Amino acid sequence: MIRLFLLGISLLILQSCGGNNGAGFGRAESPMWHSTASAEVKRSYFRSQCLDFGFTDKTPEMAQCLQTQMNTSRAAARQRMQNYNANRMRTTTCNSFGNTITCNNW
């Protein structure tokens, strides 16, 4: 228990060192990245995508593109996480009583 506590404290200390400058953890557009990257990092990432699409900086169309790209990416990341959770391995426990077997998934 103490080791787990010390490990948690160590991770918090290392994270607070700011080694990633708000860039977040994980691959860009992953669920972890969306949870940990700063708003500025996300804006910069999606801004480059919108510029590649041909939008001009500081226009209403660019703002709409940024919002659409962010929302679409966040929704896709959420869906990937839900799919992962739905497909992960589960524990099945079966109990028998007479001629009846009852199984539960956890």
Dist. CA 56–CA 32, nearest whole Å: 30
pLDDT of residue 15: 56
Give strand ranges (E) for 1-106: 92-97, 100-105
CB 29, CB 75: distance < 8 Å: no
Q: Stretch 69-97: mean pLDDT, rounded?
A: 87
- Greater pLDDT, 97 or 11: 97
Task: Tell me the range of 24-28, 68-72, 80-84, 94-98 where mean pLDDT is highest.
Answer: 68-72
Q: Where are the domains of the chain?
A: 22-105
User: What six digits make up the tokens of 90?
Assistant: 């589960």
- Greater pLDDT, 24 or 66: 66
Share above pLDDT 90 across residues of the chain, in percent, rounded to a whole number:
44
Q: Stretch 40-48: mean pLDDT, rounded?
A: 95
Q: Does pLDDT of 8 surpass 90? A: no
- Greater pLDDT, 78 or 11: 78
18 pLDDT tier (thresholds 50, 70, 90): very low
- Greater pLDDT, 101 or 13: 101
CB 101, CB 94: distance < 8 Å: yes
CB 47, CB 66: distance < 8 Å: yes
